Amino acid sequence: MQLGDVPLEAVDTSLYGFAGKVVHPRGMISLPLTLGTASLRKTCLLKFLVVDILLAYNVILGQPTLNAFRAIISTYHMKIKFPIIGGVGETQAEAFQARKCYIEAIKKRKEKKDGRISENRGL
């Protein structure tokens, strides 16, 4: 994510076991997150911890996000469903993209072990 010089809210916490080490966030930011498409979507304002580490992912959604959306997940179907006014919204991952992220994460972990530094830097 390219946030530029957006001011971050100070945080006094660390993430343990994240990316295989202790990570100290640069700060926290509130951003709107929209799940779903067309009339079956929902937007919530969420707080995200910003970290400066090499990962294949731009964002990791955890329990607070799922709770904010009142979401139910199915890892088998790679789908998230959540209540919206008048129905149920959903979003579904693509197996190809999920596999690509997984392979990229494994590759970055190997590069780190070998002492190589990747040019891609994630937040």
- Reading the chain (123 residues) residue by residue, the pLDDT tens digits are 566 678 899 999 998 876 678 889 999 999 999 999 888 999 999 999 988 887 767 788 889 999 999 999 998 998 999 999 999 999 988 888 878 877 887 887 777 666 654 444 444
- The pair of three-digit structure tokens given for residue 30, joined into one six-digit string: 């509130």
Which residues on adjacent β-strands are paired with residue 79? Answer: 74, 92
Q: What angle do CA 103, 108, 109 make, to 5 degrees?
A: 100
> Is the distance from CB of 82 to CB of 32 less than 8 angstroms?
no
Q: Tell me the two tokens of residue 85.
A: 């006014």
Tell me what pLDDT residue 105 has: 75
Sorted by where each begins, the domain ranges of the chain are 15-114
Secondary structure of residue 46 in the 3-state scheme:
strand
Name every residue whose Cβ is closer than 8 Å to that of residue 16 and which is 6 or more positions away in sequence: 22
Using a cut of 0.85, tell me whether the model's pTM lies above it: no
pLDDT of residue 121: 45
